[in-house]
DNA sequence: TCGAACCCTCACACAAATGTGAGGGTCAAC
DNA sequence: GTTGACCCTCACATTTGTGTGAGGGTTCGA
């Protein structure tokens, strides 16, 4: 598929898809005419990138952890330097913290909404 | 306490504290000499702001949901317009999605780390 | 009274993610 | 063979969260 279709299917602008590629987050083949060509798996990949980006991780980090999240897990022992492992552990912990923080705050928002609803229509 | 102490206790630069104030995320009193003065609760507040920021929420949104997360919950019925409630519900759902996404990816990283460790020292 | 260590505002700078548009190819359908 | 819908690269613009520094007060201890 070409960039237009991928853009539509992922809800991501063409500009951004090119940017992600430039940042090494996604890859594409090139047709003879120079057009980018993507396969089906790119849809998921873009979704993953967007999710991580939305979660606050910078492309720099995403680029490093993405290989570890590939579907048919291929362990990249070459990449598994101590530094890389340390980075991964660190990011894993940060992700846990973030997730818990988000859930706590989400619960607080829920509680607020419940309270407001319980008083709906009641006098202040 | 003055900005320097708050900065140290929260690990946040003075510059950023002033920025958060400018964005309406934290408040401060002013001493006669013009210095900002914070009370104890500011420490938590700053932590909360940083956490939400780190989770990827923009100051614009944080500013709107913070009042609902205050400790001694004071329901701001005035703020509880239908738009506000819709925003909150939306953000709550987004936070849930983000958290789940983070946890899923964290698990994937953990799995990767486990695999690498299981093969530690083994031939490739 | 001098200097160090604070504080203030203002303003320019920067990186990251993203938008927008210019200038220009490709290709299919009419 | 022209038009419209794609695609390309390049490059400048904008927003957000930050850093940094200039220029200038306040406070306090040596």
Name B29's Cβ contacts closer than 8 Å, sequence gap at least 6.
Answer: B36, B37, B38, B39
Domain positions in chain A:
1-73, 77-124
pTM of the model: 0.85
Nucleotide nearest to B31 (CA to C1'): C7
| CATH architecture for residues A1-73 | Orthogonal Bundle (1.10)
Chain B contact present for A31, CB below 8 A: no
Query: How far is residue A18's CA from residue B101's CA, in Å, rounded to a whole number?
Result: 24
User: For residue A31, how many C-alpha atoms fall within 13 Å in the half-sphere facing its CB?
Assistant: 9
Query: How far is residue A76's CA from residue A116's CA, in Å, rounded to a whole number?
Result: 51
Chain A contact present for B112, CB below 8 A: yes
Residue nearest to nucleotide C6 (CA to C1'): B4
pLDDT of residue B123: 52
pLDDT of residue A121: 64
Give how far Cα A116 sits from Cα of A109, A124, B82, B85, B87, Å: 11, 11, 11, 9, 14
Give how far Cα A29 sits from Cα of A3, A11, A33, Å: 11, 21, 11
**Interface probe, candidates B88, B112, B120, chain A, greatest A C-beta count within 10 A:** B112
Which regions of chain B are under pLDDT 50?
124
Which tops the pLDDT comparison, B72 or A32? A32
């Amino acid at each position: 598929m070409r960039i237009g279709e991928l853009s539509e299917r992922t809800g991501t602008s063409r500009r951004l898809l090119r940017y992600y590629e430039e940042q090494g987050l996604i890859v594409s083949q090139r047709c003879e005419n120079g057009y980018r060509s993507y396969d089906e798996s790119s849809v998921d990949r873009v979704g993953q990138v967007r999710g991580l980006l939305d979660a606050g991780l910078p492309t720099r980090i995403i680029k490093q952890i993405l290989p570890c999240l590939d579907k048919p897990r291929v362990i990249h022992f070459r990449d598994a330097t101590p530094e890389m492992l340390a980075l991964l552990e660190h990011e894993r912990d940060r992700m846990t913290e973030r997730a818990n923080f988000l859930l706590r705050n989400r619960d607080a928002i829920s509680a607020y909404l419940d309270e407001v609803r319980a008083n709906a229509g009641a006098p202040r």
